[in-house]
Chain A
Amino acid sequence: MPVNAVGREIPREIDGRKLIPFGGAYARGPEGKLHAPKIPPLIKPGESKVLPSLDDAIEKAGIADGMTLSFHHHFRDGDMLVNMVLERLAKKGIKDLKMAHIALFPVHEPLVKYIADGTITSTEGSLNGPTGRAISMGKMKGLATLRSHGGRVRAVKAGEIEIDVNFIAAPTADTYGNCNGFWGKSPCGPLSYAMIDAEHADKVIAVTDNLVPYPALPFSIPQTHVDYVTTVEKIGIPEKIVSGTTQITRSPARLKIARLAIQLIKDAGYIKDGMSFQAGAGGVSLAATKFLGDMMRKEGVKGSFAMGGTTRYVTDLLKEGLIKTIFDAQLFDLYALESLRNNPDHVEVSSEMYADIHTKGAIVNRVDVSFLGATEIDIDFNVNVNTHSDGWLLHGTGGHQDVAAGSDFTMILAPSFRGRIPVITDRVTTVTTPGESIDAIVTERGIAINPRREDILDRLHGSPLPIMPIESLLKKVQKITGAPEKPEFEDRIVAVIEYRDGTVIDVLRQKKMR
């Protein structure tokens, strides 16, 4: 079996699909032409796009066995549309669907039975929670393909995902299909991840709980892409977008990680006018964002832009003038929504502009510093965010690969162990992001800098920070926790972890049950 650039064995082919082993972050250039959907049918003046019900829309779209469906994930754990649609399709006895959602969450647990009964036979999106677990157990007939946000855009543009029907949960839609997430009773903010699907799908159905007279502004998704508009009682629960991530961590160990990270940025020379950063949700990221603001204020520095995951803490920096712009592809709280609605310097961007490697330059390429998380990190700086240390598939890739590859200084902020389970390990269970893209690991017990970054190491010479080789950090952690037993797997491959360029960085096998 060929071994890829991060030392993982990748089969040449699975179920007739040829796999290209990962060769390095920028080893593979694009080829060919962009994929295009069918030319839309003729829509004459006076024709209505509004259908009385979701059932009518499903009927009209002609969903049949073997089709590919897509959904955005802006409501995250508050989404209601995916379950609504799949329930109806399962009732109709439709089989062998390919789910090209962006991401599923615990709320989508009902899909587990559709995976087991063959309604869904393969997936092309992130899996957070029960659906990932089901796939780890080998319950799905076909393969799960995991991609980064940018990688998914690339796959759609390259025709590797051909979407038959795209459902857009639209917080606001007008009668002619213009949609946005700004207004209505269930606002989610940007519709960034829906944009590329709407452009490339053969049929696009906007499902809204706030149908307004023509025209709706802004049109994040324009009428030119939308075939039908229909209404339901409620499309999603905005409060659940947050999933408990809007509070700064109170854990002293995690606050220490955030403080160390900001001091590291400073000592590495990144606190300067015009700086840009990627912010995230999650307790440690929020703390890091807040401390970064404190540092910028103290040093009298004015930044350029922040790329969201947008939260209150990022919007506060914009309000204060510490940054000039927020690029937003996903927001996490109502403060961020207010800012997006009212502040012209807070703008919605497509996931393509945010993260796609095969564009003429994505925003991630312009990011100076980024804070990312990890389930595991190994001595080659490879990061795993997809599986738990016990081998269960439980998380999507998100923007991890894209931001890590794009930003100049990528830091992983993570505790050195969770419970008794070490985060720093000799070899990650699954590689999500290659070590070559990771510049520093910041834990409460020490910082490791990737030895490739000689420039950073030079700049950090004389810094009082607890910087040590990754091997020392590993030893330190193992002394505390002991070395865990490795998880056991069956032979069958259940998921392919794609790199953002379409090559394969790792595969995941079915979990062996004791």
Chain B
Amino acid sequence: MKDRLRRSRLFLPGNNPKILQDGGVFEADSVILDLEDAVSIDSKDEARILVKWALRDVDFRNSEVLIRVNSPETEFFEADMGVISDRVDGIVLPKAESKEDVKNVASVLDEIETEKGIGREIIIIPTIESALGVLNAYDIARLPRVAALAFGAEDFTKDIGAERTPEGTELWYARSAIVTAAKAAGVQALDTVYPSVHDDEGLRRETETARRMGFDGKSAIHPNQIGIIHDVFTPSREEIKKALAVMQAIKEAEEKKSGVIALNGRMIDRPVVERAKKVIRLAEAAGIDTEHLPEE
């Protein structure tokens, strides 16, 4: 499903059985079985086989199952794509720089879907992690199969010759550009990982920034980061109340068969409606019963 919630995407190193076996336990919106950076060159083959068996046997529960393959330019790409089965929801494509990069992967997916009889569309989440990728982000985001653009800050910083700082000022333009491109193309924008596993406060701050910038989710390199990320993406009570009021106004307009939706005497346009729907979805994902909001 292209527009499912992706507040959190948890990376699971592809050659680590201890983490893979619990992949479904941490309630990440998506899990990424990683064949790329988390796997050393010598272990690419056994990681691929381990991921293949994990896809057969491990229950990833409600998490969307994504595979991060090695770049199409590497010798590993073709074999990596071989692990795709009907248990896979999507591909995370590293270092996406042009629409050709994504189109090539899409045509491989066309073949695999036919060959393996997979009756649904496997999505692609291109990772933008270079200057060129940022500039081409909109063209990439518009392609079929693309469900979201992800940002990869580590490689991007290296590519532009910037220094990685805790405040992330050097990433400001790329983040904004990716959110803008993604939203213009009608797909999600997903922020980079927060690399300091033990710095909960730093993770919270960075996730809050990402959310305020318009990102729909953040990637996690450790399961303990999931709770904080979800917490940040949980709407406040005020936001939920406002969204509920909008939904009520829609309902009333429908009942009156009125084409115009109004709330407190002001007209509501489509983006506001969409936003309200999303707030309700996020609240429900966080386990909040929006029909019975508790009193303060």
B56: shortest Cβ distance to chain A, in Å?
13
How many residues of A sit at the interface, in one of the four size bands?
A: 10 to 19
Which of A252, A255, A259, A444 gathers most chain B CB within 10 Å?
A252
A73: shortest Cβ distance to chain B, in Å?
33
Which of A253, A444, A462, A480 gathers most chain B CB within 10 Å?
A253
B99 at the interface (CB under 8 A from A): no
B189: shortest Cβ distance to chain A, in Å?
26
Residues of A within 8 A of B227 (CB): 259
A253–B287 touching, CB < 8 Å: no
How many residues of B sit at the interface, in one of the four size bands?
A: 10 to 19
A41 at the interface (CB under 8 A from B): no
A252–B222 touching, CB < 8 Å: yes
B224–A255 touching, CB < 8 Å: yes
A256–B25 touching, CB < 8 Å: yes
A8 at the interface (CB under 8 A from B): no
Residues of A within 8 A of B155 (CB): none
A266 at the interface (CB under 8 A from B): no
A445–B287 touching, CB < 8 Å: no
B26 at the interface (CB under 8 A from A): yes
B26–A256 touching, CB < 8 Å: yes
Q: How far, in angstroms, from A83 to B289 measured CA to CA in the complex? A: 61
**Chain B contacts with A in 83-114, Cβ cutoff 8 A:** none
**Interface of chain B, helix or strand or loop or mixed?**
loop
A444–B224 touching, CB < 8 Å: no
A325: shortest Cβ distance to chain B, in Å?
30
Q: How far, in angstroms, from A337 to B262 measured CA to CA in the complex? A: 66
B224–A445 touching, CB < 8 Å: no
Residues of A within 8 A of B224 (CB): 252, 255
A446: shortest Cβ distance to chain B, in Å?
10
A464 at the interface (CB under 8 A from B): yes
A252–B287 touching, CB < 8 Å: no
**Chain A contacts with B in 250-281, Cβ cutoff 8 A:** 252-253, 255-256, 259
B60: shortest Cβ distance to chain A, in Å?
13
**Chain B contacts with A in 214-233, Cβ cutoff 8 A:** 222-224, 227
B22 at the interface (CB under 8 A from A): yes
B221: shortest Cβ distance to chain A, in Å?
11
Residues of A within 8 A of B21 (CB): 480
Residues of A within 8 A of B223 (CB): 252-253, 256
- Encode B1-45 as 1/0 by CB contact (under 8 A) with A: 000000000000000000001100110000000000000000000
Given A252-B222, A252-B223, A259-B227, A464–B287 Cβ distance below 8 Å?
yes
Nearest chain B residue, comparing its CB with the CB of A417: B21
Residues of B within 8 A of A480 (CB): 21, 59
Q: How far, in angstroms, from A444 to B21 measured CA to CA in the complex? A: 12
A444–B287 touching, CB < 8 Å: no
Which of B21, B22, B287 gathers most chain A CB within 10 Å?
B22
Q: 14 pairs across A/B with beta carbons < 8 Å?
A: A252-B22, A252-B25, A252-B222, A252-B223, A252-B224, A253-B22, A253-B25, A255-B224, A256-B25, A256-B26, A256-B223, A259-B227, A444-B25, A445-B25
Interface residues of A (CB under 8 A from B): 252-253, 255-256, 259, 444-445, 462, 464, 480
The 9 closest A-B pairs by CB, nearest first: A252-B223, A464-B287, A444-B25, A253-B22, A252-B224, A253-B25, A255-B224, A256-B25, A252-B26
